[in-house]
Amino acid sequence: MRYSQYLLPTLKETPSDAEVISHQLMMRAGMIRKVAAGVYNYMPLGLRSVRKMEQIIREEMNKAGAIECLMPMANPAELWQESGRWEKYGKELLRFKDRKETDFCMGPTHEEVVTDIVRNTVNSYRQLPLNLYQIQTKFRDEIRPRFGLMRGREFIMKDAYSFDLNDEGADKSYSKMYQAYRNIFNRCGLKFRAVEADSGAIGGSFSHEFMVLAESGEDGIVSCDTCEYAANVEKAELIYRDLKMPEATAELQKIDTPDQKTIEEVAAFLKVPAEKLVKTLIVQTSDDEVLAVLLRGDRELNMIKLNNLLNVDWVLMAEDAIVREVTGAPAGFAGPIGLKIKVIADTEVMGMADFVVGGNAVDVHYTGANVERDFKVSRFADLRQAVAGDPCPRCDGGKFESWRGIEVGHVFKLGTKYSDAMNATVLDAQGKSIPLVMGCYGIGVGRTVAAAIEQNHDENGMMLPMPLAPFQVQILMLSAKDDEVREAAEKLYAELLDMGIEVLLDDRDERPGIKFKDADLVGIPLRVTVGAKALKDGNVELKKRVDGEQSLVPLAGAAKKLQQLVDAALA
């Protein structure tokens, strides 16, 4: 492709509404342009990367035995009413009517449609297993779209749905997809973790999220440094091997702690580490219950774990008025001793003795507090947020490392939720009608490209890995007016095209500085500079975008050398 004839509108300045790097760079490199909130044009350059991502997905899905199809964006309400989601999905489902006033929605996901296909076409267990996938534009009317392609309302997604006769089959389908996903993200050259996820409202027995590691990730995750275990911090299990309740050795003592409210203040005031404190959080639930939660002073409460434990819709920190009512003191002095409400504690607290707690009165704390002797705990449970260094629950000796991650894929075992609701059954070998066991598997295509940029960039621009890069090689024709330079660049360009290499020739009549800056911004992995200097000796300059490694190569052998480098980067 010739730059002079291409549409590659780069921006010198960062658009003011782009918050994250990938969004900024995709805008600046002319990959995307916004049309409406959370709705983007894929510009020629951006589309090239998106298509590459899709192709990798397609190849790996096909290899795993999935079959591509394409379902409509416009879904009739009828199917959604059948599954019950027309009512349940809420405002995120973009609804509209056709000219006959029939209700439709833009598909945010396609369980209903695919289930409808299968129930109409699959009747026998002999036709199983079946895995149908598509790469489609989805629409979810998110309340707050942001971060460019990272969280758009309209976005391209690969979604796959597996159908099996029974659980064992479904598990097999699931693990095939799990492996296919690993292959996909590996091929993209991304650092990622497959984490155990909360299967949430959709239910089902297990679920993994595929997270690309990046500083700017929205999710906190932990992974074991020795085994395969990885999980969202919200879900990461904690384990206490050989936990015993130690003997109390200290007397319970009431002490004055004037104006010392936070854990840091109290710890500093008493000259003890925060680990020797136990904090008491007063929470209220959707069932109108108020209870106290105990955690070691330096730990964070994991609301999701608490939520699941209590089995309620939501849990919140109690309002000030409630705190005063149950503890008799303003926030900052709550403690378990003498509380009338139910007290639950993080398991870790069980292993603590002689600790500091709030005194339920202004400017008062207790030291030397102990469970059982001084107060009762109705229940111990894993309630705290996992952090780096925590021991792995699945292996011996492994420790957690912590990361930020961007969720780019999700695999779910669905069970029979949709097949039951929509009556998708087959006859088994005994002629009995049984509901299909389903799984669903999504990958955010644009999001993965954005995540790849988050993970691969520097201050000058993008550094997309070869498999996702819009072009493989860029030639900078440094002076379009110099005949020798032009001819040499043209020759190399033609050779590379012949070899089937994806090459962008910057033949614009621009100053070198502009070409260099744009090249860095777009970040095509291999850059060849054809300039008068090196050409005098018959050479061109080769520079790798990732590490900045430069070398002079003879013009004559440049094409071959480039081909080797491209091949190596794709292997």
Partner RNA sequence: CGGAGCGUAGCGCAGCCUGGUAGCGCGCCUGGUUUGGGACCAGGAUGUCGGAGGUUCGAAUCCUCUCGCUCCGACCA
Name the residue nearer to RNA (CB basis): 48 or 153: 153
- Which of 5-13, 391-399, 421-429, 560-568 is the region at the interface with RNA (rule: CB under 7 A)? 5-13
Residue 544's alpha-carbon distances to 158, 208, 457, 504, 565, in angstroms, are 32, 35, 13, 15, 10
Interface stretch with RNA, choices 54-62, 151-159, 264-272, 387-395 (CB under 7 A): 151-159
How far, in Å, CA of 186 to CA of 507, rounded? 34
What's the rounded Cα separation, in Å, for the pair 7 and 455? 26
b/e per residue, 386-400, with b = 16+ CB within 10 A? bbeebbbbbeeebeb
Report the nearest approach of RNA to the CB of residue 332 (Å).
22
The one among 201, 321, 568, 571 contacting RNA by CB under 7 A: 201
535 binds RNA (CB under 7 A): yes
Beta-strand ranges (E) seen in 382-533 are: 400-415, 425-427, 433-435, 437-444, 457-458, 461-462, 473-477, 503-506, 526-530
Out of 96, 511, 557, 567, the only residue in the binding site for RNA (CB under 7 A) is: 511
- Give the integer Cα–Cα distance in Å for 347 and 233: 17
For RNA, the closer CB: 52 or 153: 153
Stretch touching RNA by CB under 7 A, among 129-137, 162-170, 282-290, 535-543? 535-543
Pairing of strands 503-506, 473-477: parallel
CB of 461 to RNA, least distance (A): 8
The residue from 130, 531, 553, 559 that contacts RNA (CB under 7 A) is 531
Contacts of 513 (CB under 8 A, 6+ apart): none
Q: Which of 100, 101, 396, 513 binds RNA (CB under 7 A)?
A: 513
Nearer residue to RNA within complex by CB, 279 or 543: 543
| 408 lies in the binding site for RNA (CB under 7 A) | yes
**Shortest distance, position 142 Cβ to RNA, whole Å:** 6
Q: Could you give the C-alpha distances from 259 to 256, 336, 363, in angstroms and in order?
A: 9, 19, 6
Q: Where is 345: in which H helix or E strand?
A: strand 343-346
* Nearest-angstrom CA–CA distance, 333 and 485: 77
- Binding residues for RNA, total number by CB under 7 A: 64
- 427-486 binders of RNA (CB under 7 A): 442-444, 446-447, 460, 478-479, 481
Secondary structure element (H or E) that encloses residue 283, with its range: strand 278-285
Using DSSP's 3-state secondary structure scheme, residue 18 falls into coil
Q: Is 155 in the site for RNA (CB under 7 A)?
A: yes
CA atoms within 13 A on the CB side of 495: 16
Binds RNA (CB under 7 A): choice among 301, 392, 501, 534: 534
Mention every residue, 6+ apart, whose C-beta is less than 8 A from residue 15.
24, 27, 28
Nearer to RNA, 49 or 479 (CB): 479
The C-alpha atoms of residue 259 and residue 536 are separated, in whole angstroms, by 77
> x/- site string to RNA, residues 338 to 357, per CB under 7 A?
--------------------
Write down the residue that tokens 């420790």 correspond to.
399
Give CA 187 to chain center in angstroms.
18
Q: How far is the CB of 165 from RNA (least distance, A)?
A: 25
Shortest Å, Cβ 459 to RNA: 10
Using the rule CB under 7 A, which residue among 37, 74, 243, 268 binds RNA?
Answer: 37
Residue 21: both structure tokens together: 């790097």
Interface segment toward RNA; rule CB under 7 A; list 12-20, 78-86, 278-286, 463-471:
12-20
If one counts every other C-beta atom within 10 angstroms of the C-beta of residue 437, the result is 25
- Report which residue type is found at 429: A
Pick out residues in 126-145 that bind RNA (CB under 7 A).
Answer: 140, 142-145
Task: Check binding of 311 to RNA (CB under 7 A).
Answer: no
- 518 makes contact with RNA (CB under 7 A): yes
307 vs 416, which CB is nearer to RNA? 307
Between 157 and 323, CB nearer to RNA: 157
Q: Which of 390, 520, 523, 542 binds RNA (CB under 7 A)?
A: 520
Contacts for 369 with CB less than 8 Å, ≥ 6 apart: 252, 278, 335, 336, 337, 354, 355, 356, 357, 375
Q: Does position 200 bind RNA by CB under 7 A? A: yes
- Tell me how crowded residue 255 is: count the other CB atoms within 10 A of its CB: 14
DSSP annotation of 42? E
Which tokens go with 148? 């460019």
Q: Compute the least distance from the CB of residue 450 to RNA, in Å.
A: 9
Where does this chain touch RNA (CB under 7 A) — which range of 265-273, 373-381, 404-412, 488-496?
404-412
555 phi/psi in degrees, rounded to 5: -55, -40
Tokens for 54?
Answer: 């899709």
Binding residue (CB under 7 A) for RNA from 11, 377, 387, 395: 11
Q: Taking CB under 7 A as the rule, does residue 521 contact RNA?
A: yes
CA-nearest of 203, 219, 235, 244 to 309 is: 235
Q: Which stretch binds RNA (CB under 7 A): 48-56, 98-106, 497-505, 513-521?
A: 513-521
Candidate list 78, 87, 92, 168; residue touching RNA; CB under 7 A: 92
Cα radius of gyration rounded to whole Å, the chain? 29
Residues 242-281 vs RNA: string with x where CB under 7 A?
----------------------------------------
Smallest gap from residue 520 Cβ to RNA (A) = 4
Q: Which stretch binds RNA (CB under 7 A): 99-107, 337-345, 356-364, 533-541?
A: 533-541
List of residues contacting RNA (CB under 7 A): 10-13, 15-17, 19, 28, 34, 36-38, 92, 140, 142-147, 149-153, 155, 157, 200-201, 209, 218-219, 407-410, 442-444, 446-447, 460, 478-479, 481, 511-514, 516-521, 529, 531-535, 541, 543
